[in-house]
């Protein structure tokens, strides 16, 4: 090898070394100078360990300060993989106790980290088994878990929280930001094995506990509701049921019960039952919606107390026949409401007209959500006014062709009870911080004066007759004046009414003099009996009676004690057949005794209106239709027009002018002799022919 070659190789080697040193120096300059901050940050992150501190989620109380939801302490299994010696054995043992897949546990223990969740929020027995294993690198840390001490009570209103204490349903999700609080954490320096560095950096950032909620719910009334719902579901085998109780003067919801239900402590076991039917379920309300029609008609002045209505059992509107439950004959406005007469309400709806009807339907809040503080509220279904013709208007007037939610219906009833002022329903009264300081208070939120005070009170009087004398008698509570309305609606499926599936309901409030409670009972597809008067009204009665007693609201009328003498008013039974007269007297709490032979009552003693002790027999004087009737005196009277009257109505009308009735047939009066306006002596006989009504 020549000296020149050797020299070239030496120069090449030095050039290579020089370039390598230069490249290394450049790399060091890049890492130590230009990227210094980034690598310092990464180094700090590698040796800093963050442990998050979960805040305590706010407690939820009922209106009396009784706990409905709060946090409890539970154990969570975590691992420091760097400290676990025999990973496969540890994974096998943990998977067996925690009921996990061993491969998934091994994957967590094999990761290059200092902290891994193994299983969160385990029960105390399982936690004790983990402690007894004494596995290196496996730890138990304390976390909080949401707990509902009353189980399924008010489940749909409360909702539930998830694994990270985040609200997922009900009030828990609506007020999640207030309830959750903020995370705290502990920062500390640790080695690659996850052990603390002596004298290393440590910093503590405390968590902020969530706010507490005071609800409008009363746990005692909620218990009453829950019990009645269980009875309804067991007795009628219903598909679902809802009971709502509110304070009509404030809009506060005192109880909200739904069936089927679930336990928020274990919500996944009944995930199909999470939906809150009280705010979500759209249904045709049937006759309970007649409250809206009556309120609108009274407010607009298209009906008056003195107006007369006639029901033949059906009415034809634009070629469509709308049936009524019975041929009610001649009725007053109060009778139309009391008897829940479809024909009468169709007539009222026609007088109102589409524009006025929709004005009050929308004024009472139908067709849009109420704004209650719960997720998933529906707004009901209304046809656009442009699509409403005579038949649709007629259907709307008695509660068909419109879909509502239970919360909308009880809000409407609360407005009538509250002198016509519509209030937004509320479920939260106050929000407090974790130290008990008031953060926010909720007050009644008026949405408008839908009807006048005078109209509301007049309507309450009619609705009181429904409970006292009409279709809602099974909802009456002794000693209290209550207003209410039954509802029975066929269900609409695939555009057709089923005929064999119904929604039974009862909506009411009381005491009428100063309403404290409004209650709605809705039962979907009850089996067997399906009328609102048989299915829903008894539940209303129980909830109302027990709630009034619990709230200490005294009766407005004296309740008769056993053995106490009671005086009743004698009803007028003159001109009625014997069987009907005896039935009326029995219903009034009176007995009967007959004089003479026959079937027609021509006189009675004591007279109608007399006050006698309950159980007193009324003497009934009979006529056999053959012997000559004596004229009472020489005075003369004009024969009234009995056309279209029921037999009882005709009997009472003739009795008022001292004339006697001889009836033939059943149904409504179609013919009479003497003719109307004929002048006859007092005590004369009027022959009346009755026949079933024709559509």
Query: What tens digit of pLDDT does each residue of 288-326 get?
Result: 999 999 999 999 999 988 888 988 888 999 988 888 887
pLDDT digits (tens, 9 = 90+) for 3-48: 776 777 777 777 878 777 777 777 777 667 766 666 556 555 555 5
pLDDT digits (tens, 9 = 90+) for 355-391: 999 999 999 999 999 999 999 999 999 999 889 999 9
Helix (H/G/I), strand (E/B), else coil: 651 = helix
pLDDT of residue 376: 92
287 in active site: yes
What band does 107 get if pLDDT is binned at 50, 70 and 90?
confident
Contact 120, 100 (CB under 8 A): no
Q: How far apart are CA 521 and CA 42, in angstroms?
A: 63
Helix (H/G/I), strand (E/B), else coil: 8 = helix
Structure-token pair, residue 141:
């840390």
**384, 386, 390, 396: CA torsion to nearest 10:** 20
Which among 629, 634, 620 is positioned nearest to 680, based on CA atoms?
634
Q: How far apart are CA 335 and CA 345, in angstroms?
A: 11
Contact 168, 183 (CB under 8 A): no
Bridge partner list, 505:
487, 522
Which among 52, 59, 54 is positioned nearest to 172, based on CA atoms?
59
* Range with lowest mean pLDDT among 311-320, 414-423, 660-669: 660-669
What band does 632 get if pLDDT is binned at 50, 70 and 90?
very low
Structure-token pair, residue 264:
């928020």
With a pLDDT cut of 70, the percent of the chain lying above it is 90
Which among 328, 339, 331, 345 is positioned nearest to 667, based on CA atoms?
328
Contact 412, 292 (CB under 8 A): yes
What band does 666 get if pLDDT is binned at 50, 70 and 90?
confident
Contact 431, 395 (CB under 8 A): no
What band does 634 get if pLDDT is binned at 50, 70 and 90?
low
Q: How far apart are CA 137 and CA 81, in angstroms?
A: 7
What 8-state DSSP symbol labels residue 610? Answer: -
- Per the listing, tokens 């030095």 go with 14
**Pairing state between β 617-623 and 591-595:** parallel
What band does 559 get if pLDDT is binned at 50, 70 and 90?
low
- Per the listing, tokens 């402690």 go with 131
Model confidence, pTM? 0.74
What band does 347 get if pLDDT is binned at 50, 70 and 90?
very high
Radius of gyration of the chain from Cα atoms?
39
Q: How much is the mean pLDDT over the chain?
A: 86
* Residue 275 confidence (pLDDT) above 90: yes
Q: What DSSP line would sit under 122-139, residue for residue?
A: E-HHHHHHHHHH--TTEE
CATH superfamily of 219-551: DD-peptidase/beta-lactamase superfamily (3.40.710.10)
The set of residues, in sequence order, having a beta carbon less than 8 Å from that of 252 and lying 6+ positions away, is 63, 216, 246, 425, 426, 427, 429
Helix (H/G/I), strand (E/B), else coil: 475 = helix
pLDDT of residue 308: 87
| CA within 13 Å, CB half, 348 | 36
Q: What is the 3-state secondary structure (H, E, C) of 171-227?
A: HHHHCHHHHHCECEEEEEEECCCCCECCCCCEEEECCECCCEEEECCCHHHHHHHHH
Other C-beta atoms lying within 10 Å of the C-beta of residue 403:
20
CATH superfamily of 50-215: Penicillin-binding protein 2a (Domain 2) (3.90.1310.10)
Which of 163-167, 546-550, 579-583 has the highest average model confidence (pLDDT)?
Answer: 546-550
From 240, 287, 330, 460, the catalytic residue = 287
As a CATH number, domain 567-691 is: 3.30.10.20
* Range with lowest mean pLDDT among 6-15, 549-558, 624-633: 624-633
Which among 523, 506, 507, 480 is positioned nearest to 412, based on CA atoms?
507
pLDDT digits (tens, 9 = 90+) for 508-535: 999 999 999 999 999 999 998 888 999 9
Q: What angle do CA 164, 166, 172 make, to 5 degrees?
A: 145
- Per the listing, tokens 């009346």 go with 688
First to last CA, the chain: 131
What band does 437 get if pLDDT is binned at 50, 70 and 90?
very high
pLDDT digits (tens, 9 = 90+) for 220-270: 999 999 999 999 999 999 999 999 999 999 999 999 999 999 999 999 999
Residues, the chain: 695
Q: What DSSP line would sit under 559-608, residue for residue?
A: PPPTT---EEEPPP-TTSBHHHHHHHHHHTT-EEEEESSSSEEEEEESPT
pLDDT digits (tens, 9 = 90+) for 210-220: 999 999 999 99
Q: How far apart are CA 158 and CA 639, in angstroms?
A: 67
Bridge partner list, 446:
423
Other C-beta atoms lying within 10 Å of the C-beta of residue 160:
22
Helix (H) or strand (E) holding 4: helix 3-29
What 8-state DSSP symbol labels residue 363? Answer: H
pLDDT digits (tens, 9 = 90+) for 597-606: 888 787 788 8
How far, in Å, are 77, 84, 107, 133 from residue 94 at the CA level? 9, 12, 13, 9
Helix (H) or strand (E) holding 493: strand 483-493
* Residue 668 confidence (pLDDT) above 90: no
């Amino acid at each position: 090898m020549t000296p020149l070659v050797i020299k070239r190789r030496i120069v090449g080697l030095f050039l290579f070394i020089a370039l390598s040193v230069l490249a290394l120096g450049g790399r060091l300059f890049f890492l130590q100078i230009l990227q210094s901050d980034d690598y310092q940050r990464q180094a700090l992150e590698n040796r800093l360990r963050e442990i998050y501190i979960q805040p305590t989620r706010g407690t939820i109380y009922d209106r009396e300060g009784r706990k409905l939801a709060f946090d409890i302490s539970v154990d969570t299994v975590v691992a420091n993989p760097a400290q676990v010696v025999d990973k496969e054995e540890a994974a096998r043992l943990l998977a067996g106790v925690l009921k996990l897949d061993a491969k998934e546990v091994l994957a967590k223990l094999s990761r290059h980290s200092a902290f891994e969740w193994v299983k969160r929020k385990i029960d105390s027995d399982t936690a004790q088994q983990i402690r007894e294993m004494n596995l290196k690198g496996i730890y138990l840390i304390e976390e909080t878990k949401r707990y509902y001490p009353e189980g399924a009570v008010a489940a749909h209103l409360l909702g539930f929280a998830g694994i990270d204490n985040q609200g997922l349903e009900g009030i828990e999700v609506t007020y999640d930001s207030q309830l959750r609080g903020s995370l705290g954490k502990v920062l500390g320096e640790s080695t690659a094995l996850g052990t603390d560095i002596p004298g290393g950096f440590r910093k503590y950032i405390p968590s902020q506990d969530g706010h507490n909620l005071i609800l409008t719910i009363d746990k005692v009334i909620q218990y009453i509701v829950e019990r009645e719902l269980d009875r309804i579901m067991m007795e009628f085998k219903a598909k679902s049921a809802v009971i709502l109780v509110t304070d009509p003067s404030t809009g506060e919801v005192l109880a909200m019960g739904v069936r089927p239900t679930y336990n928020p402590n274990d919500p996944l076991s009944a995930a199909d039952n999470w939906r809150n039917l009280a705010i979500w379920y759209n249904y045709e309300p049937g006759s309970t919606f007649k409250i809206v029609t009556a309120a609108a008609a009274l407010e607009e002045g298209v009906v008056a107390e003195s107006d007369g209505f006639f029901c033949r059992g059906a009415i034809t509107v634009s070629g469509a026949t709308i049936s009524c439950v019975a041929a009610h004959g001649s009725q007053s406005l109060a009778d139309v409401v009391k008897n829940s007469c479809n024909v009468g309400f169709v007539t009222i709806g026609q007088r109102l007209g589409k524009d006025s009807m929709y004005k009050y339907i929308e004024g009472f809040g139908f067709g849009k959500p109420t704004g209650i503080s719960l997720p998933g509220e529906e707004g009901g279904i209304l046809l656009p006014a442009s699509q409403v013709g005579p038949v649709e208007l007629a259907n709307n007037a008695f509660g068909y062709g419109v879909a509502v939610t239970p919360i909308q219906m009880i809000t409407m009833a609360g407005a009538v009870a509250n002198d016509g002022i519509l209030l937004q329903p509320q479920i939260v009264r106050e929000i407090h911080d974790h130290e008990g300081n008031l953060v926010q208070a909720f007050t009644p939120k008026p949405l408008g004066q839908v009807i006048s005070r005078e109209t509301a009170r007049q309507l309450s009087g009619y609705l009181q007759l429904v409970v006292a004398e009409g279709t809602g008698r099974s909802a009456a509570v002794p000693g209290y004046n209550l207003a209410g309305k039954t509802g029975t609606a066929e269900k609409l499926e695939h555009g057709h009414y089923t005929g064999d599936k119904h929604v039974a309901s009862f909506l009411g409030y009381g005491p009428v003099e100063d309403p404290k409670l409004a209650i709605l009972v809705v039962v979907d597809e009850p089996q067997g009996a399906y009328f609102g008067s048989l299915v829903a009204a008894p539940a209303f009665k129980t909830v109302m009676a027990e709630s009034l007693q619990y709230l200490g609201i005294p009766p407005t009328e004296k309740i008769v004690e056993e053995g106490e003498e009671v005086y009743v008013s004698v009803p007028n039974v003159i001109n009625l057949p014997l069987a009907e007269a005896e039935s009326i007297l029995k219903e009034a709490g009176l007995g009967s005794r007959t004089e003479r032979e026959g079937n027609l009552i021509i006189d009675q003693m004591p007279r109608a209106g007399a006050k006698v002790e309950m159980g007193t027999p009324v003497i009934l004087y009979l006529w056999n239709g053959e012997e000559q009737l004596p004229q009472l005196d020489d005075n003369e009277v004009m024969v009234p027009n009995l056309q279209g009257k029921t037999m009882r109505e005709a009997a009472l009308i003739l009795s008022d002018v001292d004339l006697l009735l001889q009836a033939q047939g059943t149904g409504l009066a179609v013919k009479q002799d003497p003719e109307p306006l004929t002048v006859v002596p007092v005590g004369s006989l009027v022959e009346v022919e009755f026949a079933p009504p024709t559509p």
